Amino acid sequence: MSAQPQPAPMHQTDAEQIDQANGTGRTPVVFIHGLWLLPSSWDRWGPVFADAGYAPMCPGWPDDPDTVAEAYAEPEVFANKTVGQVADHYAAIIGKLAKKPVVIGHSFGGLLTQILAGRGLAVASVAIDSAPFRGVLPLPISALRSAAPVLANPANRHRAVPLTFEQFRYAFGNAVTEGEAKELFETFAVPAAGAPIFQAAAANLNPWTEAKVNSTNPGRGPMLVISGEKDHTVPRAISDAIYAKQKRNPGVTEFVEVPNRGHSLTIDGGWREVADTALAFVQRFA
């Protein structure tokens, strides 16, 4: 039996990842990270999906550096990235694939996943602890506190904003031990564009916002919404409201809550449970 193809390394260009995925003849799986993370946050997910017969890809947001060290050396590369710009970037990548992909995203990557699925670009999709969009009304206190490092200063709209460990601990690592939270912070956390958080915060006040989703498009494809029970950044109320919007779609829409998990659920010690949940859904449709 031939060896299973492995996911493209994170340092490969988008073009190289596209060529590799097309060369396999398999259904691609496009992983989209959220704010304060890099494509490397999906490193362990790629082989799981490759072993299951898919062609995993982890293209970054425009200008993403390869490593956490590079991100802190040049944080300005993250500044002024908007939801619409990043969504169009991923749409262009998908447009070069030989097969319509599965799309899986976390946090703001979950919002981007829903935008792309709403454009009819996904054969199936999984939105994990997704950021809210226009029409999602709940604003829980924990979500506002998680966003406060950005929203507290209007000038942050045009900046790249890092998190302190204490801020990361609250927003991402509240459901793991302090030791694991520190390890996750040192391994994964990078500065993030402030613009998307301002866009999401004002989405219900701006009819022309880029933070909007076509949830009723019949070409959206099957979608799974995953929520971490203890997530401070995207509490259950937000995920419930997202699911309520998406289930109006004529396609399959499902919801899973992962018990005792916070916003770090895709990168912490319990990542495999979330990956297997996403994979089981994807395998039913792609």
CATH number at residue 249: 3.40.50.1820
Model confidence band, residue 12 (pLDDT cutoffs 50, 70, 90): confident
Arithmetic mean of pLDDT over the chain: 95
Q: Is residue 1 part of a domain?
A: no
Q: Is residue 6 part of a domain?
A: no
Tally of CB atoms within 10 A around 236:
15
pLDDT of residue 100 exceeding 70, the answer is yes
Q: Is residue 279 part of a domain?
A: yes
Mean pLDDT along residues 256-268: 98
Q: Is residue 121 part of a domain?
A: yes
Indicate the number of domains in the chain: 1
Q: Is residue 128 part of a domain?
A: yes
The fraction of the chain above a pLDDT of 70, given in percent, is: 96
Q: Residue 70 sits in which domain range? A: 14-283
Q: Is residue 2 part of a domain?
A: no
pLDDT of residue 2 exceeding 70, the answer is no
pLDDT of residue 1 exceeding 80, the answer is no
Residue type, 20: Q
Q: Is residue 39 part of a domain?
A: yes
Identify the pLDDT of residue 201.
Answer: 94
Identify the pLDDT of residue 270.
Answer: 98
Q: Is residue 3 part of a domain?
A: no
